[in-house]
Chains A and B, each alone.
Chain A
Amino acid sequence: MRSSAVDNGLRTGVTFGIVIVTMFLIGFTVTGAGLIGKLFGASDSATPSLMFYSLFMILIGMWAGASASPRPLTEADTFKRALISGLVAGLVSGAIAAVIGFIFGDLSANKIDPRTYLPSVSPDSIKLFLFNQTPLMGSLTLLALMTVSAAVSAALSFFFRSNHWLKNKSGETSNAARGFFQSAGLNRVLQSQYASYVFWAITAVVLIILPRVWGSYWNYVFGTVGIYIILGLGLNIITGWAGQLVIGYVAFFAIGAYTFALLTAPEPHHLTVNFWVALALGVLVAGISGLLIGLPILNLRGDYLAIVTLGFAEIIRILLKSDLMTDYTAGPRGIRDIGGPTILGKPFVSDVDFMYVIIVAVLAVTFIAHRLRNSRTGKAWFAINLDETVARATGINAFGSKLLALSLSAAVAGLAGALFASRNQFTGPDDHALMVSINVICLVIVGGIGNIPGVFLGAFALKGLPEILRETESYRLLIFGVLLVIMMRLRPEGFLPARRPELEKHAAQTPSGKEA
């Protein structure tokens, strides 16, 4: 059964109405306008201009209109149907927003500040929401803006979807592009060995030069990104390949960081172990703790395993934070003055130098992950992930394999933790909250679970982008939550899905007669 155009519009309208009101209530309308302003190169001013706010609302209205316009397009779908859907969607969402806007505008006019209960709704944001007009005029403007933009966008999207000319044209161009690449033999060039040498050479040069030129702020940002890449690659082993979700991954990060910190900081144990030794020990202790924690729990079913690891992580964090451990781990205050790297006795602690350390670590872990991925061990992990029972029946010691995967993951997390502590020259219990794990899980999933380039993409998108879009800082976790839900629904394999290697073809291409 097909829903009528009005129904369709009504449903979309209510959804978008709620979204707009929520955005207003959490102050995102102001942030959104600011983001649009930034897009157009406007300088960071405290109050975004009315123009950018209008543009922001128009974009939302157009989105509403586009999603309201009927899909899939059949013969019976007429232009009228699309227009009605869009119009209704705009009208309804606009009306919902207008009513709420009017209420708040009226309250504000009567000098009632809603910030006691809704701290994000400032008088400025109310004024902006109502286009700096009176409550009545403002809400009417809101209504009109939404209706018009939704209707226009519904009509436009009708044309885009129905217009065969456009569809064919774009198909042709992409074909043409592909043809060009093929005919020019670009593919072969790109795949040739020299190309990869050139690529690596350029990458190396860039990686050597960049930390020197872009200043300590970007070194800090990309240092964090690098540490999260390491964490992501580590989690990928146990979760992406072996298929065991570990929510409490941060526990191993904390173990690595604390091991390193306690060995190199003057307080509380007066140890000044060499950076490299402490780093190795941090990795080792984290790996062993992965082994020990894994022993009793790795036979648990997937979701139980996830929750148990969460329990472990919380226990470790609460213990670190408690007074009980103050003598051993410096308690809630954390550990200061953690040592930095030295090479041949020379300190190596400037932000540029440390960036190199992180780059080397990222490359090393990437290399290891790459080597493991399609090895015999890696295949065993993936087999366990897909069907543990059958994997066992083909001779794989599933428990042992999972234990190995968890230990390796934990060791990598230990490395990340040690680097993190060393770079910040500080570590405390709050560095190791559950949100670190959630961040890592998000970036692995968003990038493409089980895929190495996916981890890079995910880390840049989830740790790098928010640094650039500073306005969104407080909305970051909210967006993560939505992102997780949407990814699981639409694209659980992530933006860069993992690909299987082509072994048969590869073997066929190498002249097999020689070695026989």
Chain B
Amino acid sequence: MDKPTSTSDQGKLRFGRYVRMFIGIVIGVFLVWRLYDVLVVEHKFGADTWVRFGLSGLILGGMYALIAIGYTLVYGIMFMINFAHGEVMMLGAFGGFFVFEALRFIPAPTLADPKLNFLDAHPIFSVFLAFAVGISISATAGYFLEKIAYRPLRKAPRLILLITAIGASIFLQNLAMLLFGPQRKNVVNPDLLDRGAGWTITVSGNPVLISYTGVFSLVLSAVLMIGLYILVQRTKLGRAMRSVAQDKNTASLMGVDVDDVISKTFIISGSLAGAAGVMWGIHMGLVNHYTGFLPGIKAFTAAVMGGIGNIPGAMLGGMVLGIIEATGPAALGIDFQLKDVIAFSILVLVLILRPSGILGEKLSEEKL
């Protein structure tokens, strides 16, 4: 009853409101100026370029969304930022990479092509196997991460959990570096999913390539997201997850094994991250120990943008962030080197201006 839904801390409101208003106005003016400059005055890019950017943004956004769901699920249930989530994704990406490498060594000669390897002979099965392995690795990593690092700290303050997660993130990243070496590895796709292959459409007289890998990634992310939504909304496990997210004690009074549900949550978010990791390898073509770090932080940004703890919000946030990142540098007429600055600026701005996110409810402070 006395749990506050809104607290007034006038001290920070009064101060913060002006600061925030000021920042908002500055950003707004800057955006309008740059957009006007690029789109109207300079008119640098044709429609085809925008379509190209938009498409790659959507594909990127799908992957961000999958990772963001993991942040949101874990945050919703444990109120912690699983900083190592990006590394879980990176492990999945390596899983996919190694499956492709291994299958490429297995000969599967046919009469037509005696040099054919297994990867090109059975591309669909190979891709399926890559996802199966990548997802399993990430799910296992998520499971053990929770069990070894986070579970003993169930009652610890949030900051301790965050530091643990940072520690786990550093550990996994450096483990991968020491195991597989620091250099980037090229992911060689089966011929069917060659990154240059795809459909070509014509936009304002110029060809735009819609690559198979991109379409494949986008469709797969959509399917996984729908599947997750059904899992959370319609199944018994989903109900249990939501009940644990709302009130652990009461959930356990219903007979829910809270530890078990938390484990399963980590497995599910790990799986989604693993899928995103394999997709990343297939679509981007490069994997190394650093693969997970930036997508991880960006997906966290996406989750916050959509309102952390809110699953549709994470999906939407991922998509929006992907599109902004892909079109932002061009739209604002700044260097492509700075695309990460755009992502980080969004992170900072969202947290400052609207920490509850686009779809989020007002965040209630859990403790007055």
Which A residues contact B (CB, under 8 angstroms)? 22, 25-27, 117-120, 243, 245, 247, 295-304, 306-308, 310-312, 314-315, 318-319, 321-324, 389, 392, 397-400, 438, 441, 445, 474-475, 477-478, 480-485, 488-489, 492
**Residues B167 and A482 in contact, CB atoms below 8 Å apart:** yes
Q: Quick check: is B129 within 8 A (CB to CB) of the other chain?
A: no
**Residues B178 and A295 in contact, CB atoms below 8 Å apart:** no
Q: Quick check: is B169 within 8 A (CB to CB) of the other chain?
A: yes
**Residues B170 and A481 in contact, CB atoms below 8 Å apart:** yes
Minimum CB distance partner of A400 in chain B: B11
Minimum CB distance partner of B94 in chain A: A117
**Residues A300 and B351 in contact, CB atoms below 8 Å apart:** yes
Minimum CB distance partner of A474 in chain B: B178
Q: How many whole Å from B141's CB to the nearest CB in chain A?
A: 13
Given A311-B347, A322-B337, A485-B149, the answer on whether A118 and B163 have CB atoms closer than 8 Å is no
In-complex Cβ contact of B101 among A25, A117, A296, A474 (8 A) = A117
Chain A residues with Cβ under 8 A from B363's Cβ? 301
Q: How many whole Å from A419's CB to the nearest CB in chain B?
A: 26
Q: Quick check: is B201 within 8 A (CB to CB) of the other chain?
A: no
Interface residues of B in 342-368 (CB under 8 A from A): 344-345, 347-348, 351-352, 355, 363, 365, 367-368
Q: Quick check: is B199 within 8 A (CB to CB) of the other chain?
A: no
Chain A residues with Cβ under 8 A from B161's Cβ? 488
Q: How many whole Å from A330's CB to the nearest CB in chain B?
A: 16
Chain B residues with Cβ under 8 A from A474's Cβ? 178
**Residues A296 and B338 in contact, CB atoms below 8 Å apart:** no
**Residues A296 and B20 in contact, CB atoms below 8 Å apart:** yes
**Residues B341 and A306 in contact, CB atoms below 8 Å apart:** no
Distance in angstroms between the alpha carbons of A295 and B159 in the assembled complex: 21
**Residues A441 and B15 in contact, CB atoms below 8 Å apart:** no
**Residues A303 and B80 in contact, CB atoms below 8 Å apart:** yes
Query: B32-40, B150-158, B217-225: which one contacts chain A?
Result: B150-158
Given A117-B101, A478-B171, A481-B169, the answer on whether A322 and B149 have CB atoms closer than 8 Å is no
**Residues B170 and A477 in contact, CB atoms below 8 Å apart:** yes
Chain B residues with Cβ under 8 A from A477's Cβ? 170, 173-174
Distance in angstroms between the alpha carbons of A245 and B148 in the assembled complex: 23
In-complex Cβ contact of A488 among B11, B156, B352 (8 A) = B156
**Residues B163 and A441 in contact, CB atoms below 8 Å apart:** yes
Distance in angstroms between the alpha carbons of A441 and B169 in the assembled complex: 14
Chain A residues with Cβ under 8 A from B168's Cβ? 481, 485
**Residues A489 and B152 in contact, CB atoms below 8 Å apart:** yes
Q: What are the 8 tightest A-B residue pairs by CB atom distance, in nearest-first order? A: A484-B167, A481-B171, A119-B181, A481-B170, A26-B178, A299-B12, A478-B174, A485-B167
**Residues B365 and A399 in contact, CB atoms below 8 Å apart:** no
Q: Quick check: is B253 within 8 A (CB to CB) of the other chain?
A: no
**Residues A397 and B164 in contact, CB atoms below 8 Å apart:** no
**Residues B23 and A296 in contact, CB atoms below 8 Å apart:** yes
- 14 residue pairs from A and B, CB less than 8 Å apart: A27-B178, A295-B19, A297-B351, A307-B297, A314-B297, A315-B341, A315-B348, A399-B11, A477-B174, A480-B170, A484-B163, A484-B164, A489-B149, A492-B156
Q: Quick check: is B109 within 8 A (CB to CB) of the other chain?
A: no
Apart from A245-B162, A304-B304, A481-B170: 6 A-B pairs, beta carbons within 8 A:
A308-B351, A315-B345, A478-B178, A482-B171, A484-B166, A489-B164
Chain B residues with Cβ under 8 A from A488's Cβ? 153, 156, 160-161, 163-164, 167
Q: How many whole Å from A30's CB to the nearest CB in chain B?
A: 12
**Residues A311 and B164 in contact, CB atoms below 8 Å apart:** no
**Residues A480 and B167 in contact, CB atoms below 8 Å apart:** yes
Minimum CB distance partner of A435 in chain B: B170
Given A295-B15, A314-B340, the answer on whether A489 and B158 have CB atoms closer than 8 Å is no
**Residues A323 and B337 in contact, CB atoms below 8 Å apart:** yes
**Residues B164 and A307 in contact, CB atoms below 8 Å apart:** no
Distance in angstroms between the alpha carbons of A296 and B122 in the assembled complex: 55
Q: Quick check: is B302 within 8 A (CB to CB) of the other chain?
A: no
Chain A residues with Cβ under 8 A from B297's Cβ? 307, 310-311, 314
**Residues A311 and B344 in contact, CB atoms below 8 Å apart:** yes
Which B residues contact A (CB, under 8 angstroms)? 9, 11-12, 15-16, 19-20, 23, 80-81, 98, 101, 148-149, 152-153, 156, 158-164, 166-175, 178-181, 297, 300, 304, 334-335, 337-338, 340-341, 344-345, 347-348, 351-352, 355, 363, 365, 367-368
Chain A residues with Cβ under 8 A from B159's Cβ? 243, 245, 302-303, 306
Chain B residues with Cβ under 8 A from A297's Cβ? 348, 351-352
Minimum CB distance partner of B181 in chain A: A119
Q: How many whole Å from A31's CB to the nearest CB in chain B?
A: 11
Distance in angstroms between the alpha carbons of A30 and B351 in the assembled complex: 46
Distance in angstroms between the alpha carbons of A474 and B181 in the assembled complex: 11
**Residues A307 and B9 in contact, CB atoms below 8 Å apart:** no
Chain A residues with Cβ under 8 A from B345's Cβ? 311, 315
**Residues B15 and A308 in contact, CB atoms below 8 Å apart:** no
Chain A residues with Cβ under 8 A from B20's Cβ? 296
**Residues B334 and A303 in contact, CB atoms below 8 Å apart:** no
Distance in angstroms between the alpha carbons of A245 and B80 in the assembled complex: 14
Given A308-B352, A397-B11, the answer on whether A445 and B163 have CB atoms closer than 8 Å is yes
Minimum CB distance partner of A244 in chain B: B159
Q: Which of B15, B19, B23, B363 has the most CB of A within 10 A?
A: B15
Chain B residues with Cβ under 8 A from A480's Cβ? 167, 170
Given A303-B159, A399-B11, the answer on whether A485 and B171 have CB atoms closer than 8 Å is yes
**Residues B175 and A26 in contact, CB atoms below 8 Å apart:** yes
Chain B residues with Cβ under 8 A from A484's Cβ? 163-164, 166-167, 170
Distance in angstroms between the alpha carbons of A37 and B217 in the assembled complex: 52
Chain B residues with Cβ under 8 A from A315's Cβ? 341, 344-345, 348
Chain A residues with Cβ under 8 A from B173's Cβ? 477, 481
Distance in angstroms between the alpha carbons of A438 and B98 in the assembled complex: 31
In-complex Cβ contact of A324 among B152, B334, B347 (8 A) = B334
Q: How many whole Å from A327's CB to the nearest CB in chain B?
A: 13
**Residues A302 and B12 in contact, CB atoms below 8 Å apart:** no
Q: How many whole Å from A475's CB to the nearest CB in chain B?
A: 7
Minimum CB distance partner of A308 in chain B: B351
**Residues A438 and B166 in contact, CB atoms below 8 Å apart:** yes
In-complex Cβ contact of B9 among A247, A312, A392, A445 (8 A) = A392
In-complex Cβ contact of A308 among B158, B164, B171, B348 (8 A) = B348
Distance in angstroms between the alpha carbons of A170 and B212 in the assembled complex: 72
Minimum CB distance partner of A293 in chain B: B348
Q: How many whole Å from A398's CB to the nearest CB in chain B?
A: 7
Q: How many whole Å from B4's CB to the nearest CB in chain A?
A: 10
Given A308-B351, A482-B167, A488-B167, the answer on whether A399 and B172 have CB atoms closer than 8 Å is no
Q: How many whole Å from B9's CB to the nearest CB in chain A?
A: 7
Distance in angstroms between the alpha carbons of A360 and B164 in the assembled complex: 34
Distance in angstroms between the alpha carbons of A303 and B160 in the assembled complex: 10
In-complex Cβ contact of A318 among B160, B166, B181, B341 (8 A) = B341
Q: How many whole Å from B12's CB to the nearest CB in chain A?
A: 4
Chain A residues with Cβ under 8 A from B171's Cβ? 478, 481-482, 485
Distance in angstroms between the alpha carbons of A396 and B304 in the assembled complex: 30
**Residues B16 and A324 in contact, CB atoms below 8 Å apart:** no
Distance in angstroms between the alpha carbons of A484 and B179 in the assembled complex: 21
Q: How many whole Å from A466's CB to the nearest CB in chain B?
A: 14
In-complex Cβ contact of B355 among A120, A245, A247, A300 (8 A) = A300
